[in-house]
A = this chain, B = another copy of it.
């Protein structure tokens, strides 16, 4: 077990010890937001046939080889084809077929002129300009060709990808099962009761937050319960969590004092500690362990400390378990729009909101940054990294922002 590891070491140890969940087969209509477990190759073309891009007339382009305003090509209209139908006849040198947007191009035709540009008299049309083959025709396979890799393992099934698969006739997809995340709260001070608080008690606010984050990440949160500050109670909940879920996350019981009960409980259930304490603020008192091929992540009970570390460590962990191809937090360089007065002896993460204006990425701090401050988590979509040893930061400082939205 290693103490005081870097954030990156902590993250890599966690990622090294987790795997994507099993896979399952789902109807496309039930797969929104799920993660593909396999590549998908196009089994057909989109569009499936050459089609007209507009309402007009289809003909053989060669018939217009000499066409001009003075000497228009004169063609006899022999049929009209709506989208969804197929022409019964073939276009010849002297004939044309009326086609609607999306209608298949009749045999013998290889160009379309739009309705508005055509001079119509009786059953004849006059075309006054020259056409090349494929003018105003959307070619079969122009959007997607049979055999194209249209989706890759690890991609999220967002609405347009569902649409693309539906367009290809895919009706079922193999996706990763949702990872189950056990949530355990610890602490004698936590109250889960509604109504007035007893003296010395605070309300459990982290559980519903973590539950929401897990749902947003495509995991199934499993509420195991709240343990009092007793090692045996915590042990029992840890064991229940390992049994019922793929990963266990605890909050509380890891402060640097007499009450490091989660550390003790993790040892006593026979789990192997991976690390204990990370060199960041907030969130230093964090532990990770593994047992039965599953990871236990112990977060601080201080709301902001626990939630910031959840975002830095558990987002990539859960994304990897959910099968995401891109599981690391995206980072970008951004300008601090407010100043931050405190010096940062330790590497620090500030809660902020990304502001994109004038082509620049800026970050506005979302409020006070104390370990226990929950209100500045609201609206926070980036964590701004302040390197260790930094002094007070002026507005305009350029920092690395970790996206947590």
Q: Please name all residues of chain B whose beta carbon is closer than 8 Å to the beta carbon of A378 when the two chains form the complex.
A: 151, 158, 160-161, 164
Stretch of A174-182, A239-247, A273-281, A365-373 lying at the B interface: A365-373
**In the complex this chain forms, how many copies of it are found?**
2
A154 an interface residue at 8 Å Cβ cutoff? no
Residue with the greatest number of chain B CB neighbours at <10 A, chosen from A334, A335, A378, A380: A378
User: Whole-angstrom distance from the CB of A57 to the nearest CB of chain B?
Assistant: 11
Q: Knowing A82-B188, A101-B255, A257-B115 touch, does A163 contact B303 (C-beta < 8 A)? A: yes
A259 an interface residue at 8 Å Cβ cutoff? yes
User: Is A375 within 8 A of B104, CB to CB?
Assistant: no
Binary B-proximity of A19-63 (CB < 8 A = 1, otherwise 0): 000000000110010000000000010111101011100000000
User: Is A374 within 8 A of B307, CB to CB?
Assistant: no
User: Is A166 within 8 A of B371, CB to CB?
Assistant: no
User: Is B102 within 8 A of A189, CB to CB?
Assistant: yes
A87 nearest CB neighbor, chain B only: B200
User: Whole-angstrom distance from the CB of A366 to the nearest CB of chain B?
Assistant: 9
Q: Which of A139-163 contact B (CB under 8 A)?
A: 142-144, 150-151, 158-163
User: Is A199 within 8 A of B49, CB to CB?
Assistant: yes
Cross-interface CB contact of A377 among B47, B160, B207, B335, cutoff 8 Å: B160
Q: Please name all residues of chain B whose beta carbon is closer than 8 Å to the beta carbon of A380 when the two chains form the complex.
A: 160
User: Is B333 within 8 A of A205, CB to CB?
Assistant: no
Measured CA separation A207–B46 after assembly (Å):
16
Measured CA separation A201–B51 after assembly (Å):
11
Binary B-proximity of A82-108 (CB < 8 A = 1, otherwise 0): 111110000000000000111110000
Q: Knowing A229-B82, A370-B138 touch, does A102 contact B159 (C-beta < 8 A)? A: no
Q: Knowing A166-B204, A203-B166 touch, does A334 contact B307 (C-beta < 8 A)? A: no
A190 an interface residue at 8 Å Cβ cutoff? yes
Measured CA separation A132–B210 after assembly (Å):
37
Q: Knowing A138-B372, A360-B360 touch, does A229 contact B162 (C-beta < 8 A)? A: no
Q: Please name all residues of chain B whose beta carbon is closer than 8 Å to the beta carbon of A167 when the two chains form the complex.
A: 202-203, 205, 303, 374
Q: Please name all residues of chain B whose beta carbon is closer than 8 Å to the beta carbon of A206 when the two chains form the complex.
A: 163
Number of interface residues of A (CB under 8 A): 99
Residue with the greatest number of chain B CB neighbours at <10 A, chosen from A101, A205, A255, A259: A101
User: Is B166 within 8 A of A205, CB to CB?
Assistant: yes
A283 an interface residue at 8 Å Cβ cutoff? no
Stretch of A211-219, A264-272, A337-345, A386-394 lying at the B interface: A211-219
A192 nearest CB neighbor, chain B only: B166
Q: Please name all residues of chain B whose beta carbon is closer than 8 Å to the beta carbon of A142 when the two chains form the complex.
A: 368, 370, 372-373
Measured CA separation A209–B32 after assembly (Å):
10
Measured CA separation A103–B378 after assembly (Å):
25
A197 an interface residue at 8 Å Cβ cutoff? yes
Q: Please name all residues of chain B whose beta carbon is closer than 8 Å to the beta carbon of A379 when the two chains form the complex.
A: 160
A123 an interface residue at 8 Å Cβ cutoff? no
Sample of 19 further A-B pairs with CB below 8 A, known A54-B255, A160-B374: A29-B211, A32-B215, A44-B197, A47-B372, A48-B202, A55-B259, A82-B229, A83-B187, A83-B189, A83-B229, A100-B257, A101-B302, A143-B372, A160-B380, A166-B204, A166-B209, A167-B203, A171-B194, A359-B360
- 23 example contacts (A-B, Cβ-Cβ < 8 A) are as follows A29-B208, A32-B211, A32-B215, A48-B202, A49-B200, A81-B200, A83-B200, A84-B189, A84-B190, A86-B199, A100-B257, A100-B258, A142-B370, A143-B368, A158-B212, A161-B378, A163-B206, A163-B209, A164-B205, A166-B205, A166-B207, A169-B195, A169-B197
